[in-house]
């Protein structure tokens, strides 16, 4: 590193953003419909996990599809793509945070 | 779809939950596939578009790789510079991907895109097409199809969709392809192939937007599939001077195998109330796209 670069580095902190979960907050609070998985029907085909725009449903090898309600927005894509019809969208009892 | 049952695990880890996209947004679906191919060994160059918002604001970003947010018209120019810089410094194994919307590609970024293609600069340009300027409130772009409502075409767009893929083929670059968020394995294979080729690579990615197209957010994948099954969007690759049609579109070379276009349009509020004439107009757009593809398959 040249002296000049060293000096520049010590004088300026570049405001680099870091990858982080929840950049838009706990997006689970955006939900008005909630996906509920019937694990007895889940064939672990991964379709829901592949398409979920929020990476909020993942297939666990032994169990099946598990939803992360902290961030799931309740869009219903997973229920729509599930070939086994293992996911139903049910109304949230409580709206908002 | 290819025989691969699942995509690699990196798909889970590249787009982080809690980002700012609307319900059912196609953008993270596409970015997850980019992540599946490159992991965090990718530098995204993103001009002003929904993606800039989806990934979130400093101090965080929802993309677990490198992202450079750039001024609207400059995505391809910045990507050219980064790719040249990495090469000079001997950095290998990092893929530069310009990731821009239809407005940033078909309209505002066209000049820098054309320049990078003509110089055959070494990176992948992905145009994700949600067929309007969504980030600023659903204004028409040159890639909006005829007949579609937007806030600036309240009675439906009169002009036909600009086919940017054709324009890129005319540049004579080594690899051009079309893809859809409904077919992630196909998109995956195309990104992989593009990454193995030196020079300029262009991939068009069809990306239905529930907000701007006025359909239920649960239907994003279904609408994208119907676009392919009706023949509205044709999946293919262009290399070695020829079009190579992709699996999901191949049976549709036979027109009788295509679903009626109305099955695609009927889910979308933006096409509600289109006239018989506008429907015929769209149908002949589809037919002529297929005729063109067939010509270049020889
Ligand atoms: C030079 C300039 N003009 C206009 C804008 C405002 N602007 C920001 S995003 C956007 C729309 C982008 O549309 P598109 O590229 O299709 O991406 P989308 O938002 O649809 O994902 C506009 C017009 C800007 N940021 N810079
Ligand atoms: S409802 Fe939407 S956000 Fe929630 S798990 Fe299903 S696909 Fe993901
Ligand atoms: S799509 Fe349905 S069957 Fe397949 S893994 Fe998800 S919940 Fe299970
Ligand atoms: S407007 Fe459409 S493309 Fe933009 S973030 Fe929302 S769903 Fe995604
Ligand atoms: Mg757009």
- Tell me how far apart the alpha carbons of residues B86 and B106 are, in angstroms, rounded to a whole number: 27
- Give φ, ψ of A87 to 5 degrees: -115, 125
Least confident of A81-95, B78-92, B126-140, B207-221: A81-95
pLDDT at B150: 98
Domain count, chain A: 1
Angle at which helix B26-38 crosses helix B220-229, to 10 degrees, equals 80
With CA atoms as reference, report the closest residue to B282 among B231, B234, B243. Answer: B231
Q: How confident is the model at residue B49 (pLDDT cuts 50, 70, 90)?
A: very high
Which residues pair with residue B68 across a beta bridge? B45
Check CB contact of A69 with chain B, cutoff 8 Å: no
Q: What is the pLDDT of residues B28-47, one digit of tens each?
A: 999 999 999 999 999 999 99
Does A51 fall in a domain? yes
Residue B18 forms part of a structural domain: no
Residue among A22, A7, A12, A9 at smallest CA distance from B57: A22
Residue B283 within a domain: yes
> Is residue A80 predicted with pLDDT exceeding 80?
yes
**Is A27 a member of any domain?**
no
Closest CA to B161 of B149, B187, B188, B143: B143
Q: Do A49 and B19 touch (CB under 8 A)?
A: no
Q: Is residue A21 part of a domain?
A: no
Domain assignment present for residue A11? The answer is no
Å from CA of A28 to ligand 2 middle: 10
Q: How far apart are CA B102 and CA B129, in angstroms?
A: 5
Mean pLDDT for all residues in chain B: 96
What domain range includes position A56? 35-97
Q: Which of B11, B60, B222 sits opposite A20 (nearest CB)?
A: B60
Question: Least CA distance to B6: which residue of chain A?
Answer: A46
Is B52 part of any domain? yes
Indicate whether A6 pLDDT > 80: no
Is the CB of residue A88 less than 8 Å away from at least one CB of chain B?
no
In a domain, A40, yes or no: yes
Reported for A11-20, long-range contacts at CB under 8 A and 24+ positions apart, including other chains, are A15/B58, A15/B59, A17/B56, A17/B57, A17/B58, A17/B59, A17/B60, A17/B61, A17/B67, A18/B59, A18/B60, A18/B61, A19/B16, A19/B60, A19/B61, A19/B62, A19/B63, A19/B64, A19/B65, A20/B16, A20/B59, A20/B60, A20/B61, A20/B62
Tally the domains of chain B: 1
The pLDDT of residue B6: 63
Q: What pLDDT sits at residue A66?
A: 98
User: What is the distance in angstroms between the Cα of A18 and the nearest Cα belonging to chain B?
Assistant: 5
Q: What is the mean pLDDT of residues B282-297?
A: 97
Give domain status of residue B242, yes or no.
yes
Q: B17 vs A68: CB contact, 8 Å cut-off?
A: yes
Find chain A residues with C-beta within 8 A of B32's C-beta. Answer: 50, 55
User: Scanning the structure block, which residue is given the tokens 């309209």?
Assistant: B107
Structural domain of residue B242, as residue ranges?
Answer: 26-297
Q: Which residues of A touch B130 (CB under 8 A)?
A: none
**pLDDT confidence band for B9 (50 / 70 / 90):** confident
Nearest CA to ligand 4 atom 5: B21
**Each residue's pLDDT tens digit, B119-140:** 999 999 999 999 999 999 999 9
CB B220 within 8 A of CB B268: no
- A96 inside domain: yes
Residue B75 included in any domain: yes
Quickly state the pLDDT bin for B4 (edges 50, 70, 90). very low
A16 within a domain of the structure (yes/no): no
> Are A73 and B221 an interchain contact pair (Cβ–Cβ within 8 Å)?
no
Q: Does residue B3 surpass a pLDDT of 50?
A: no
For residue B151, count other CB atoms closer than 10 A to its CB.
Answer: 13
B20 domain residue, yes or no = no
Task: Kindly report the CATH number assigned to the domain that includes residue B147.
Answer: 3.40.50.970
ipTM of the shown complex = 0.95
Alpha-carbon radius of gyration of chain A? 20
Whether A28 is covered by a domain: the verdict is no
Give contacts of A85 with chain B, Cβ < 8 Å.
none
| Closest CA relative to residue B15, chosen from B45, B41, B36, B46 | B36
Model confidence pTM above 0.90: yes
Q: Is A45 on the interface with B (CB under 8 A)?
A: yes
d(CA A79, CA A65): 11
Read off the CATH number of the domain in which A49 is found: 3.30.70.20
pLDDT, average across residues B14-30:
97
**B5 touching A, CB under 8 A?**
yes
Section A29-57 average pLDDT: 97
Q: Chain A: give the shortest CA distance to residue B220, in Å.
A: 7
Q: Is any ligand 1 atom within 6 A of the Cβ of residue B135?
A: yes
> How many helical (H) and strand (E) elements, i.e. helices and strands, does chain A have?
3, 5
Q: Which atom of ligand 2 is found nearest the CA of B217?
A: 2
Per residue in B52-109, pLDDT tens? 999 998 899 999 999 999 999 999 999 999 999 999 999 999 999 999 999 999 999 9
């Amino acid at each position: 590193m040249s002296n000049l670069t060293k000096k520049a580095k010590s004088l300026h902190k570049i405001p680099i953003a870091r990858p982080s979960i929840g950049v838009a907050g706990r997006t689970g609070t955006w939900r008005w419909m909630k996906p509920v998985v019937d694990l007895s029907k889940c064939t672990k085909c991964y379709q829901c996990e592949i398409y979920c725009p929020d990476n909020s449903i993942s297939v666990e090898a032994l169990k099946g599809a598990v939803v992360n309600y902290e961030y799931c927005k309740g869009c219903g894509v997973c229920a729509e793509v599930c070939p086994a019809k293992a996911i139903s969208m049910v109304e949230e009892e409580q709206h908002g945070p | 779809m290819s025989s691969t049952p699942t995509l690699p695990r990196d798909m889970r880890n590249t787009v982080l939950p809690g980002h700012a996209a609307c319900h059912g947004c196609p953008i993270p679906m596409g970015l997850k596939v980019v992540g599946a191919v490159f992991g965090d060994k990718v530098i995204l160059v993103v001009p002003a578009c929904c993606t800039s918002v989806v990934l979130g604001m400093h101090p965080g970003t929802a993309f677990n790789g490198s992202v450079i947010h750039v001024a609207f018209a400059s995505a391809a120019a910045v990507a050219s510079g980064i790719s040249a810089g990495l090469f000079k410094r001997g950095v290998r194994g990092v893929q530069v991907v310009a990731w821009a919307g239809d407005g940033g590609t078909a309209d505002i970024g066209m000049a820098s895109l054309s320049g990078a293609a003509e110089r055959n600069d070494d990176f992948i340009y992905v145009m994700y097409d949600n067929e309007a300027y969504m980030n600023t409130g659903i204004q028409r772009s040159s890639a909006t199809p005829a007949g579609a409502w937007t806030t600036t075409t309240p009675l439906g767009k009169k002009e036909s969709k600009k086919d940017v893929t054709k324009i890129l083929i005319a540049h004579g670059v080594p690899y051009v392809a079309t893809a859809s968020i409904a077919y992630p394995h196909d998109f995956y294979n195309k990104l992989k192939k593009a990454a193995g080729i030196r020079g300029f690579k262009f991939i068009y990615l069809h990306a239905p937007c529930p907000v701007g197209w006025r359909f239920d957010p649960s239907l994003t994948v279904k609408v994208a599939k119907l676009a392919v099954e009706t023949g509205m969007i044709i999946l293919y690759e262009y290399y070695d001077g020829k079009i190579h049609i992709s699996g999901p579109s191949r049976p549709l070379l036979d027109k009788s195998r295509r679903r009626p276009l109305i099955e695609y349009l009927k889910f979308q509020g933006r096409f509600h109330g289109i006239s018989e004439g506008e429907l015929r107009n769209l149908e002949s757009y589809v037919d002529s796209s297929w005729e063109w593809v067939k010509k270049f398959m020889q």
